[in-house]
Amino acid sequence: MVDENNLDAAGRLILSAQTLGEDDLAQAYVLVGLCHDTVSMERWRRLAASGEQPTPLVWQAIRDPRGYIHALFAHRIEHDLVDGATLVATDILTAGPAWRTAMETVELSIRGIAHRAGCPSIRILIHPDREAPTPAQLRSVFLACGYKDRGPYLSRSMPQAVSDTPPGSELPCLS
């Protein structure tokens, strides 16, 4: 049961994004294990530590006010001749009854990160074997927010400016 103190005026779970820290890996692994039962804790620790590769990969946790993790995603900035600086998000994971609210918070967070990083485009990688969320669930949320379906990924050009939106506020792309 969800504590009423964790809900906004519309009855939606209040969630916010934070960079995943070393101390968060065990709690985050619960979600990783639910979504990918073949990934061991050791492999998860190595994946989370891979952020120090040549193209930094940053993990974000979507949390409720109690600190519980409802979603995870990773992002990095890539550069190419067509799109220039592009924020690429991957490994979006969420499970449970609040998956849609968690995905909406992921989307808002991705746009905010892209805006702050000066990226005029966003690319969301879609893994066809993903189970939580499924590719169809990812598409249902991100296409409603103005992304274009490009098969193995979704893209969005020129993200709108996103201010520091208070947790639980409505997303401008979803009504």
In a domain, 173, yes or no: no
Q: How far apart are CA 175 and CA 168, in angstroms?
A: 14
* Owning domain of residue 101: 13-157
Other CB atoms within a 10 A radius of the CB of residue 45 amount to 14
CA 19 to chain centre: 11
In a domain, 166, yes or no: no
Q: What b/e string do you get for 65-81 counting C-beta neighbours within 10 Å, with b at 16 or more? A: eeeebbbbbbbebeeee
In a domain, 5, yes or no: no
In a domain, 3, yes or no: no
Please measure the distance between the N-terminal and C-terminal CA atoms of the chain and give it in whole angstroms.
25
Backbone angles phi, psi at 45, to 5 degrees: -60, -40
Distances, alpha carbon 75 to alpha carbons 57, 88, 98, 120, 162, in Å = 6, 5, 22, 15, 17
Comparing 36 with 154, the larger pLDDT belongs to 154
In a domain, 145, yes or no: yes
Residue at token pair 């990226």: 119
pLDDT of residue 33 exceeding 60: yes
Mean per-residue pLDDT for 143-169?
Answer: 72
Q: How many domains does one find in the chain?
A: 1
pLDDT of residue 7: 59
In a domain, 38, yes or no: yes
Q: How confident is the model over 9-25, as pLDDT tens digits?
A: 555 678 988 988 888 89
Q: Where residue 121 sits, what CATH number does that domain have? A: 3.40.630.30
In a domain, 170, yes or no: no
Q: How confident is the model over 91-113, as pLDDT tens digits?
A: 999 888 888 889 999 999 999 99
In a domain, 29, yes or no: yes
Q: Backbone dihedral region of 18: left (phi > 0), alpha (psi from -120 to 50 degrees) or beta?
A: beta
